[in-house]
Amino acid sequence: MMEQIQPPSAAHRPVRAVLLDLDGVLVDSIEVAWEAFTRAYAEVVGDGAAPVDEYCRYPGHHLPDVLRMMGLPAAMAEPFVRESHRLAHRVSPVPGVPELLGTLRRRGARLAVATGRSGVRARTLLDRLGLLASFDHVIGADEVPRPKPAPDIVLRALSLLRVPPGEAVLVGDAASDIASARGAGVTAAAALWGESDPDTLLAAGPDVVLASPVDILRFCPAGAADRPADVHGG
């Protein structure tokens, strides 16, 4: 049975920075990723069924690392990215996310994306969806020395935001997100609405489990801190 962990209450000290994974947490992109992977496999490897089920065991990881761990050709990365761009019109925000981001900004939270995608791909997608301007920074796995599950991307976000680890939370839907958050010393929040199996995500040992995006607001309760958003995407 899945352990139930309650989201933080308004009585807890509010955080100053909310870091978010992209795929599965902010946007619904899993079907596009499956199709892009299948097409890349057919183009590079050839006949036979693409091992999509195995590919799905590595949510949150940088694509080159996934291909290496699966023993697949690195050459699959180019057609995967190409097909992902071609199919990007089928990616949409997770319901409620645009409103959530606006509320977090008004409550004074600093926001950053920490994703397993490349930085360019992440910013391009967020811009197309009209969400890029909601974030102070968007950091891709190719923009730090080591991608998740290493803590580098979280530490980079904290440095850019000028927020100490004890005043930040990372919301992710993969075990690699939880490991990255713990390594950086920030609160690790598991997003149950994402792409990972809930039991697998809980087994990673998050500090907090969130059932829906609106639960993120518990970290930044309404109050005197509410202000007009002053946002610089990047």
Please report the DSSP string for 7-57 in residue order: PPPTTSPPPSEEEE-SBTTTEE-HHHHHHHHHHHHHHHT-SS---HHHHTT
**Ramachandran angles phi, psi of 38, nearest 5°:** -60, -45
Residue-by-residue pLDDT tens, the chain, 234 positions:
334 445 454 435 579 999 999 999 999 999 999 999 999 999 999 989 999 999 988 888 889 999 999 999 999 999 999 999 999 999 999 999 999 999 999 999 999 999 999 999 999 999 999 999 999 999 999 999 999 999 999 999 999 999 999 999 999 999 999 999 999 999 999 999 998 889 999 999 999 999 999 999 999 988 644 554 444 444
CA pair distance 221, 216, nearest whole angstrom: 9
Comparing CA positions, the residue from 163, 87, 167 lying closest to residue 121 is 87
Q: Which one of 21, 152, 177, 215 is the catalytic residue?
A: 21
CA pair distance 223, 230, nearest whole angstrom: 17
Q: Which long-range contacts link 44-53 to residues 24+ away (Cβ below 8 Å)?
A: 44/73, 44/75, 44/76, 44/79, 45/72, 45/73, 45/76
Comparing CA positions, the residue from 155, 153, 152, 159 lying closest to residue 22 is 153
Instruction: Establish whether 21 is a catalytic residue.
Output: yes
Q: Inter-axis angle of helices 175-184 and 152-161, to 10 degrees?
A: 60
State which H helix or E strand residue 190 sits in.
strand 187-191
What confidence score (pLDDT) does residue 59 get?
A: 85
What confidence score (pLDDT) does residue 231 get?
A: 41
